[in-house]
């Protein structure tokens, strides 16, 4: 007789996350869900502090911004106004604000919070959503979010495996913390 379910063998893992560990989830919406799971069970976790990011290039860019404490300024090219709202093309729409200074302040607070959390994190859980990226044509830069701006302002590209690997290798810890102390699996 055929079984009505699929048996899955679960193997032991070297990975062992405990309640005493400090966690950071970052990346796609799955990072939000994982973070919410850990929060529900009272783990020390910061879930997707820079908003949902699907592609590895933007994720690397956001982590680098946090590790180097590279704060945004009024002159950032990828902060745009559309229909009464200011958006950062480098971040999720949850950061969008009706005033540009408010947007910049909110983003810089999130960047500083992420940096502080990174300096304490035992585990960083990164989830990727897509190898496709959008390039803002007038700046030539890859963006994290198009914020429903006209498609003619962007070109769509597919990242190579080598580029994705390079992006993930660029994700580094703050200079005051050794990457050796953060566990990777």
| pLDDT one-digit tens code per residue, 12-43 | 888 889 999 999 999 999 999 999 999 999 99
The answer to whether 46 and 124 have CB atoms below 8 angstroms apart is no
Helices (H), 41-99: 56-67
The per-residue pLDDT for 35 is: 96
Structure tokens at 57: 């290039």
Q: Say if CB 80 and CB 89 are below 8 A apart.
A: yes
CB-based contacts of 39, cutoff 8 Å, min separation 6: 45, 47
pLDDT at 185: 45
Per-residue pLDDT tens over the stretch 51-96? 999 999 999 999 989 988 888 888 888 999 999 999 999 999 999 9
Q: What band does 173 get if pLDDT is binned at 50, 70 and 90?
A: low
- Computed from CA positions of residues 119, 122, 127, 128, in that sequence, does the dihedral angle turn out positive or negative? positive
**Could you tell me which residues are beta bridge partners of residue 44?**
22
The pair of three-digit structure tokens given for residue 74, joined into one six-digit string: 């009024």
Helix, strand, coil shares of the chain, percent, nearest 5, are 35, 20, 45
Q: Which residue carries 């983003």 as its tokens?
A: 107
Global pTM reads: 0.84
- CA-CA-CA-CA dihedral for 21, 25, 29, 34, to nearest 10: -10
Per residue in 95-107, pLDDT (tens digit) is 999 999 999 999 9
* Cα–Cα distance for residue pair 120/22, rounded to 1 Å: 7
- Give the distance, in angstroms, between the CA of residue 172 and the centroid of all CA atoms in the same chain: 13
Cross-strand bridge partners of residue 126: 26
Dump pLDDT digits (tens) for 3-20: 889 989 988 888 889 999
Read off the tokens for 113. 């919070």
In angstroms, the CA 107 to CA 110 distance is 5
Would you state the pLDDT for residue 68?
A: 87
d(CA 27, CA 58): 9
């Amino acid at each position: 007789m055929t079984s009505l379910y699929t048996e899955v063998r679960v193997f032991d893992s070297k990975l062992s996350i405990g309640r005493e560990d400090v966690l950071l989830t970052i990346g796609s919406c799955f990072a939000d869900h994982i973070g919410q799971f850990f929060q529900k069970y009272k783990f020390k976790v910061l879930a997707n502090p820079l908003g949902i990011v699907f592609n590895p290039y933007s994720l690397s860019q956001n982590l680098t911004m946090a590790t180097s404490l590279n704060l945004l300024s009024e002159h950032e090219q990828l902060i745009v106004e559309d229909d009464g709202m200011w958006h950062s093309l480098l971040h999720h729409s949850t950061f969008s604000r009706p005033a540009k200074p408010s947007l910049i302040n909110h983003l810089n607070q999130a960047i500083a919070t992420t940096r502080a959390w990174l300096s304490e994190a035992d585990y960083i859980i990164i989830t990727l959503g897509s190898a496709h990226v959008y390039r803002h044509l007038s700046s030539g830069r890859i963006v994290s979010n198009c914020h429903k701006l006209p498609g003619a302002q962007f070109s769509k590209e597919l990242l190579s495996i080598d580029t994705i690997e390079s992006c993930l290798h660029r994700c580094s810890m703050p200079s005051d913390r050794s990457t050796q102390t953060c566990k990777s699996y």
